[in-house]
Structure 1
Amino acid sequence: MGNLISEETLHKLEADTSFQQLSQKMQTLNIFEVLGITNAEIRHSNFLAWLLDPNGNHGMGDKFLREFVSKLGQREVVPENVTVCIVRREWQHIDLLVLCQKEKYLLCVENKVFSEEHDNQLRRYRDMLLEEYPGYTMSFAFLSPDGIAPLSADDQQYWQPVSYVDILDAIESAKGGSALLPEVNMLLDHYTAAVRRHIVGDDNIKKLCQDFYDRHKEVLDTIYENCKTSLNPICEVAEDWCREKSEQGELIFSPQWSNNTYTRFTTETIRKLFPQHTKPISGWKTTDMAFYEIIKRENYFKITLSLCSDNLTDEQRAACDRVSQALNRPDRKEDWRWKRIRNWPRHTIESEPNSENYKEGIYRYLNTNWREIQKFENDLLNKTE
């Protein structure tokens, strides 16, 4: 076919049922996307504060509060009467604080959607609350997209990990049996769709994409190779950085592992920690079961370390367990397929793509993350050997 795509081929793409379903999903109006707040951590905390307030005008009473706390394995600690609870935002820099002063109960939530822990904040928050509210029964939730545990073993004793999938489950459970106003139902549905699309991933969309790609791989690869730079200007810069590091022998990179959203690379250390398949049978259709992924958006990017459980051998599963134990992050689900075991903070791109310092700024952030990745790998090797 070369680089020529016939008009007939393009019509076949448009007529594909997976393409039509994808188009319908992607064009569906979403109020959170319209307002541009899907990637704003503070807006997610504001929305959760509204849901956690038993007196909020959502009409669910204390149902969401109880469902949320149940995700911590502590449903029974919530007082029977929480009608006089108040919800505070950013009190002493704490993201969310639910206070039931009469019943002497509090829920503290640290929300990490697009950032990571810093300055021993979890320990400081807990110490502060113990001093400020002596005699209270307390619940501490560490909320993140994937439900990862805090970094410190000490914090893990008190802060229970919660994922955004848990949030969506809690919303669904809280809605059950409630006669909610149409506008409330609409808002909850829009929020659920936005979280699936921008934070935790939509399995249905992923399946439609994979089905569509499998049927039209050759033509889609041709379109991608000719358009990816213009679709997302960070793509070219991220791939250039990976290519340079690969030529210097610092990491392992191949452009075929990447797309407009993800630029993927791995290292010798990661391949040592997570043995490769003998054939390209991972979820990425490669021999690697683990990749660093540079997740790219129009004005920001972040790096994660992700695993795929497709076709794992007993040796590979043992490697996953060994690393999870070293990181003090046990699996919360036995049937996981994709898992991010480490997230680095996102970097906002303030320069315009055609400006002189656009590439320089991205390289600076990537090099900072690379130094952190090297330290992370050395520490992980020491803990697993």
Structure 2
Amino acid sequence: MTSLAPGLEADELQITSLAAEWRTILAKERENEAAEVAAWEATVAEIRAEHDALLRNGAWVGGPDDTLSILGVGRRELYHSALLAWLLDPQGRHGLGSSFLEALLRRCASDPPTSELHLAQPALEVSRGDARADIVVTAPGLCLVIENKVDAGEQHRQCDRLFESFGREPGALFVFLSPSGRAPETATGSAQEAFQKMSYADIASMLRDAMARAVGKGATVHGREVVSNYLATLNREFQ
């Protein structure tokens, strides 16, 4: 057998030693990884057990808690228009009286007619000429026209046609309601000046204020629940 030169033999011994050290390091790393995996698995098992206990006790809940979202219609314009018309009715069983209507009017004009709001009557899908308004609220000296847009676009000259059809009514006021509070695209000239842009966040704010000021006369338990439930929808969909 041929013996290695002294220098080469020393190199071989060093390589052998390094290889042994490396194997030791790898073995320790595998041990550490195994311990980490075991600890992780124990933590996951603990979390699963806690989750199962919460489910068993009915403490783990999820999903929406407002009626419109449960039904999957949280962004349907017709449903929002119907609820808004109800809230704008001073005789509604919500118990808000005319406070919500008055708050909305004060966003539209500096000195709106408020003396006879108890006589206000809201109506849905009011047609006049070639225009159809989503909500119209009438009272002595008042004709409030609300065009409600959630996700749908505007029709050809829609706001201009509304202004032309309702603009001559005594106390005519116009609101363009949308999630973002954007300006209407189909309002030009005098109609552009007449339409007040409003967001659903504005509606939620006014509704909270009206609820805080309401004295509760004429309210029913279910009526107040509807107001609170609708406010939950507004907070969920439009905040």
Cα-Cα RMSD: 2.9
Deviations along 1:24-78, one digit per CA (max 9) or x if unpaired, are: 6744632223333312110000000000111222121111101112233x25212
**1:130 and 2:167 aligned:** yes
Residue 188 in 1 paired to residue 227 in 2?
Answer: yes
Higher Rg:
2
Aligned to 2:122: 87
Q: Secondary structure at the match of 1:157?
A: helix
Q: Using the alignment, how far apart are the partners of 1:191 and 1:197 within structure 2?
A: 10
Question: AA paired with 1:185?
Answer: R
Q: What SS does structure 2 have at the residue aligned with 1:8? A: helix
**Does the 8 Å contact 2:67/2:229 carry over to 1?**
yes
Distance 1:137-1:33 versus aligned 2 partners, 3 A rule: same
Amino acid at match of 2:142: Y
Per the alignment, in what secondary structure is the counterpart of residue 104 of structure 2? helix
When residues 156 and 9 of structure 1 are mapped into structure 2, their CA distance, relative to the original with a 3 A threshold, is: farther
Alignment of 1:112-127 (within 5 A): 112-127=149-164
Does the alignment pair 1:110 with 2:147? yes
Distance, in Å, in 1 between the alignment partners of 2:64 and 2:164 is 45
Q: Counterpart of 2:175 in structure 1: which amino acid?
A: A
Q: Deviations over 1:88-128 (max 9, x none)?
A: 1101121000011xx22110000001112121110101101
Judged with a 3 Å threshold, the aligned counterparts in structure 2 of structure 1 residues 6 and 146 are, in CA distance, closer, same or farther, namely farther
Partner SS, residue 96 of structure 1: strand
Of the three residues 117, 128, 147, the one matched with 2:181 is: 147
In structure 2, stretches of 5+ residues that fail to align are 1-36, 52-58
Aligned AA (1:91):
V
How many angstroms apart in 2 are the aligned matches of 1:113 and 1:146? 9
Residue matched to 1:164: 200
Percent identity, aligned pairs only, is 25
Alpha-carbon deviations, 1:239-273, whole Å to 9, x = none? xxxxxxxxxxxxxxxxxxxxxxxxxxxxxxxxxxx
Deviations, residues 303-353 of structure 1 (Å, cap 9, x unaligned)? xxxxxxxxxxxxxxxxxxxxxxxxxxxxxxxxxxxxxxxxxxxxxxxxxxx
Q: Larger RCO: Structure 1 or Structure 2 (Cα < 8 Å, ≥ 6 residues apart)?
A: 2
1:89 aligns to what SS in structure 2? strand
TM-score by length of 1: 0.44
- Aligned position for 1:52: 88
Is 2:212 the counterpart of 1:173? Answer: no
Q: Which amino acid aligns with 2:184?
A: P
Q: Could you say if the C-alpha distance between residues 15 and 108 of structure 1 is closer, same or farther in structure 2, counting changes exceeding 3 Å?
A: farther
In the alignment, the residues of structure 1 paired with residue 106 and residue 113 of structure 2 have an alpha-carbon distance, to the nearest angstrom, of 9
- Number of matched pairs: 186
After TM superposition, give the deviation of residue 85 of structure 1 in Å: 1.9
Q: Which residue of 1 aligns with 2:43?
A: 8
SS of 1:68's partner is helix
